[in-house]
Structure 1
Amino acid sequence: MDEKDAYRQKIQARLDQWRAEIDKLQAKAVEAGADARVEYDKQIEKLRARQAEAQDRLDELDSSRGEAWKDLKSGIEKAWNELESAVKSAANRFS
């Protein structure tokens, strides 16, 4: 396994972890009252958009050739950090 593949697997595992956290929040939303549910749904929609953005960045990595993938790392890390922060914030807000 080369460095690019190892990096991709590491980031994909992180995205899968945050996807599971978002799914947990969505399950809580189902149990929430009407007012709380509206807020949950808004937050979950935002989290899913960030999740999709992070996945898109990771998918760009697959199409990169040679050492060009290293240029994409900063964008991937930024998307990952934004998703991580947003999920943690939402989880704290709704716990």
Structure 2
Amino acid sequence: MDKRTEYVEKLSAQMVEWDNQIDLLKDKAESATPEVKSEFHNAIAMLQLKRDEAAAKLQGISTAGDDEWEELKKGTEQAWSGIRTILHDAIMKIK
């Protein structure tokens, strides 16, 4: 298996995990007070937007040429970092 395939599989698995965590946040938001529920919905909307951006970057890596994918990897790493931060912040607000 080449490096790009390994990278795409790793990120795909991470996206599945993020989807699961977003679903958990949605469940917790439903049982929250109205004030907190609004905060959850805002955080979830931002997470879903960032997740969709990351999915587009992942798709770009999957279809890029051998020379292009390394360059796309840099942008993808930045998107992934942003999602990790937002998700971490949202989870910390729940606790």
The TM tier, using the shorter chain, reads over 0.9
User: 1:66 Cα shift?
Assistant: 1.8
**Which residue is 1:8 aligned to?**
8
Q: TM-score, normalised by structure 1?
A: 0.94
Using the size of structure 2 for normalisation, the TM-score is 0.94
Supply the RMSD in Å over aligned alpha carbons.
Answer: 1.0
Structure 1 counterpart of 2:76, one-letter code: I
The aligned residue for residue 19 of structure 2 is: 19
Count how many residue pairs are aligned between Structure 1 and Structure 2. Answer: 95
Q: Which runs of 5+ in 2 are unaligned?
A: none
Residues 32-76 of structure 1 show CA distances to partners (whole Å, capped at 9, x for unaligned) of 122211111111101111111111110111220123111111101
Structure-2 residue corresponding to 1:54: 54
Query: Once the two structures are aligned, what percentage of the paired residues are identical?
Result: 27
Matches of 1:15 and 1:84, distance apart in 2: 11
Unaligned 5+ runs, structure 1: none
1:83 corresponds to = 83
- Structure 1 runs of 4+ off > 3 angstroms? none
The residue number in structure 1 matching 2:45 is: 45
d(CA) in 2 for partners of 1:72 and 1:33? 41
If asked which structure has higher relative contact order (CA below 8 Å, sep 6+), I would say 1
Amino acid at match of 2:88: K
